[in-house]
Amino acid sequence: MNNFEALGLSQPVLKALGELGFENPTDIQKQAIPLLLSKPQDFIGLAQTGTGKTAAFGLPLVELIEPEEKTTQALILAPTRELAQQIGKQLEQFSKYVGKLNVVCVFGGASISGQISEIRRGAQVIVATPGRLIDLSQRGAVKLNQLEYIILDEADEMLNMGFKDDLDYILAQAPAEKITWLFSATMPREIKNIVKNYMTNPAEVKINSGQVVNENIEHQYAVIKASDKIEALRRMLDFDPEMYGVVFCRTKRDTQRVADELVESGYAAEPLHGDLSQAQRDNVMRKFKSKTVQLMIATDVAARGIDVNNLTHVVHFALPDDAEYYTHRSGRTARAGKKGISLSLITKGEMRRVKFLESKLGIRFEKAMIPAIEDIAKNRISHWAQKLADQEISIGVTAEMMGEANLMLINFSREELIAKFISGQLSRISAKNSLSDLNDSSRGNSRDRDNYDDRGGRRGGRGERRERDSRGNEAGMNRYFINLGVVDQLNKGGLLRFICDNTGLSGNEVGRITLDQRHAFFDVAEKSDGVISSLNGKKFDGREIRVNRDDAGGGSGGGGGRDRSDRGRGKKSSSKFKKKKKY
């Protein structure tokens, strides 16, 4: 199947796809669309971000929705407002020639009364984030027990963001005979529980992640010191004025800091993280899509649902802790058959992580070099000269302007004028960057743990030995218990990221981590004690987090086990209603 017509789509939908520039379906689209159109059935689609999952479920849904029926026929759940808006926009585009399809997007941070009014005017498809949907359901604006289709997009990410209880509530309230389509990048235990409890004999399509992540993406790494990472970004922007991409940081604090430092140096950058209001997020996305902003600095969660074409780069300011997140990030570039670069800024101690990603994902990394100041200067002068040569003379240039300029410059030769213009370009470059070579070619044991965090600060407790008190605690640190452990599929890096993302702490403020099966202990600098209590009540895979100060100096204290209560789950009936539609 080399084109969409072979997948069984109708002519009105094919016409819309042609106008949108869709030519050949992706692997997930080739396999999912014919299955979803063939008969009413539950379905699981496993594929990475950037593989065309929205069209894989959106096109069949547009074919199956009855435009004449004004009741809500389908619900699509997404983890973030950005992804919900993206899905809603694409459904409207797909259905352009099918008939009036009313798609309403609902999410937190916007007026709920306005969303209720839109739904009451007739919403055949609702695209929602889980929390806002439950609010609307409890207000009687959405009738969950009348749905015909429920689609879970990025299901694993919804669970990662703490929506487990919300998903259980929504799926339990929906009719037993509904049709459920689930799309996810991974298949963790919690996803398997959803399949077991709420789906019946689902068809399954799985796209090989190793093949997907490697397609059209050039994977690169540059070895530099942690403290030089921001200057490396500046040099990349100076060398390539057409660079347009997303930079991924580990924490909200680092995201804001990197963006602030770039802006202060005169670069067009904006942060995107969870502390921004909806209006701020919308403003950032508007400027980024219009290319007013050249680099968006984002956390993994905030970047969910970003749908921007023609990104040239994805930059990993800090490598993620697992391969799936690397795939999610890299998939932001090289879309729609275009090429893209995924560049990891690493220290020499992180080479082992690059090797792990190569092995895990079946990809190959090429070593990249951060450009030297001389190379940047040559490239910028060439770019500037070409731009000047291509510049059309404006009709606004008057004889008076020319005369005044000529009077001021008449004593300089042609060569002197060119040299002055070049000097101006060089001074702007040298003012923002050092003259040193940023590429770290120093000898070191790649097996050593990197001693610097993403901020360029010295790590305490993991890269160097620190003094300990009589109980084994690090000097200047307090010990804490948390009810997360190995059974939660966490390693030390994953737990560190969870702590930092949810408290705003940086890596150098968290010390020794001891991981057990059902719980863990971690040290925190005494000056940071106050923020640790904010972890209490947070959710991890739908379970409430509990953190206690461990004044006894560690141990195997209880209370770390998983809450096994079965909150409101109900297995759906195996019966299916018969659709009298376009099967």
Lowest mean pLDDT of 235-239, 333-337, 371-375, name the range.
333-337
Tell me the average pLDDT of the chain: 82
Top pLDDT among 38 and 437 is at: 38
Task: Assign residue 568 a region (left: φ > 0; alpha: ψ between -120 and 50; beta: otherwise).
Answer: left
In this predicted structure, what is the pLDDT of residue 42?
A: 97
In this predicted structure, what is the pLDDT of residue 429?
A: 63
Top pLDDT among 229 and 375 is at: 229
Q: Is the pLDDT of residue 578 over 80?
A: no
**Mean predicted confidence (pLDDT) in 26-53:** 90
Token digits for 580? Answer: 């009298």
| Terminal CA-CA length for the chain | 20
Instruction: Look at residue 300 and give its three-state secondary structure.
Output: coil
Cβ partners under 8 Å of residue 32, min gap 6: 43, 45, 56, 57, 60, 205
Q: Is the pLDDT of residue 466 over 90?
A: no
What pLDDT, in 10s, does the model give residues 166-183? 999 999 999 999 999 999
**Mean predicted confidence (pLDDT) in 20-24:** 84
What pLDDT, in 10s, does the model give residues 199-241? 999 999 998 654 445 478 999 999 999 889 999 999 999 888 8
In this predicted structure, what is the pLDDT of residue 40?
A: 94
In this predicted structure, what is the pLDDT of residue 422?
A: 79
Sorting pLDDT into bands at 50, 70 and 90, what band is 473? low
Sorting pLDDT into bands at 50, 70 and 90, what band is 287? very high
% of the chain surpassing 90 pLDDT:
39
In this predicted structure, what is the pLDDT of residue 288?
A: 94
What pLDDT, in 10s, does the model give residues 477-509? 888 989 888 777 777 777 887 888 788 777 777
CA angle 208, 213, 216 (to 5 degrees): 125
In this predicted structure, what is the pLDDT of residue 414?
A: 87
User: Is the Cβ–Cβ distance between 523 and 564 less than 8 Å?
Assistant: no
Q: Is the pLDDT of residue 105 over 80?
A: yes
What pLDDT, in 10s, does the model give residues 153-166? 999 888 877 899 99
Calpha distance 375→240 (Å, rounded): 11
Lowest mean pLDDT of 198-202, 220-224, 297-301, 343-347, name the range.
297-301
User: Is the Cβ–Cβ distance between 426 and 377 less than 8 Å?
Assistant: yes
**Mean predicted confidence (pLDDT) in 140-152:** 94
In this predicted structure, what is the pLDDT of residue 172?
A: 94
Sorting pLDDT into bands at 50, 70 and 90, what band is 551? low
Q: Is the pLDDT of residue 538 over 60?
A: yes
In this predicted structure, what is the pLDDT of residue 324?
A: 72
Instruction: Tell me the sheet residues that pair with 524.
Output: 478, 510
In this predicted structure, what is the pLDDT of residue 525?
A: 83
Instruction: Tell me the sheet residues that pair with 270.
Output: 296
**Mean predicted confidence (pLDDT) in 129-152:** 94
Instruction: Look at residue 223 and give its three-state secondary structure.
Output: strand
**Mean predicted confidence (pLDDT) in 32-52:** 90
pTM of the model: 0.55
Q: How far from 140 is each of 116, 135, 143, 424, 536, CA to CA, in Å?
A: 9, 9, 7, 64, 32
In this predicted structure, what is the pLDDT of residue 434?
A: 57
Instruction: Tell me the sheet residues that pair with 74.
Output: 125, 149
Which H helix or E strand runs over 495?
helix 492-503
Sorting pLDDT into bands at 50, 70 and 90, what band is 47? confident
Orientation of helix 53-64 relative to helix 27-38, angle to 10°: 20
Number of continuous H segments (helices) and E segments (strands) in the chain: 20, 20
Which H helix or E strand runs over 343?
strand 340-346
Q: Provide the b/e sequence for 56-94 (b: ≥16 CB within 10 Å).
A: bbbbbbbbbbbeeeeebbbbbbbbbbbbbbbbbebbbbb
